[in-house]
Amino acid sequence: MNENRRRLFLIILAVILALLAWAAESLYFTDYEYHYRTKRFQKILLGKEKIMDDCMNGLKPILARGEPHGSVSEKNIFLVAEQNEITILEYIDGKLTYWSDNGFDVPQIRNDSLFTKPLIFLQNGWFIPKTVQAGNEMIVGLLRVRTDYGFENDIIKNGFEKDFRVPANFGFTTEKDVS
pLDDT at 173: 62
Q: At what angle do helices 32-65 and 72-83 cross, to 10 degrees?
A: 160
- Residues whose CB falls within 8 Å of the CB of residue 101, separated by 6 or more in sequence, listed in order: 82, 87
pLDDT at 98: 81
CA dist 100 and 123 (Å) reads 16
| Residue-averaged pLDDT of the chain | 80
Closest CA to 117 of 97, 89, 88, 140: 140
Q: Which of the four pLDDT bands, split at 50, 70 and 90, describes residue 164? A: low
* Neighbouring C-alpha atoms within 13 Å toward the C-beta of 63: 20
Lowest mean pLDDT among 1-15, 59-73, 124-138: 59-73
Percent of the chain with pLDDT over 70: 79
Percent of the chain with pLDDT over 90: 12
- Element at 43 (helix H, strand E): helix 32-65
pTM comes to 0.68
Closest CA to 143 of 158, 160, 155, 156: 160
pLDDT at 21: 93
What are phi and psi for residue 134, nearest 5 degrees? -140, 105
Angle at Cα 139 formed by Cα 137 and Cα 143, nearest 5°? 170
Write out pLDDT tens, residues 54-88: 988 888 887 777 766 677 878 888 888 888 888 88
Ranges of each domain in the chain? 50-164
Could you say which DSSP state residue 165 is in? T
For the segment 103-125, the average pLDDT, to the nearest whole number, is 82
Write out pLDDT tens, residues 21-60: 998 888 777 777 677 777 888 888 899 899 999 988 888 8
pLDDT at 14: 95
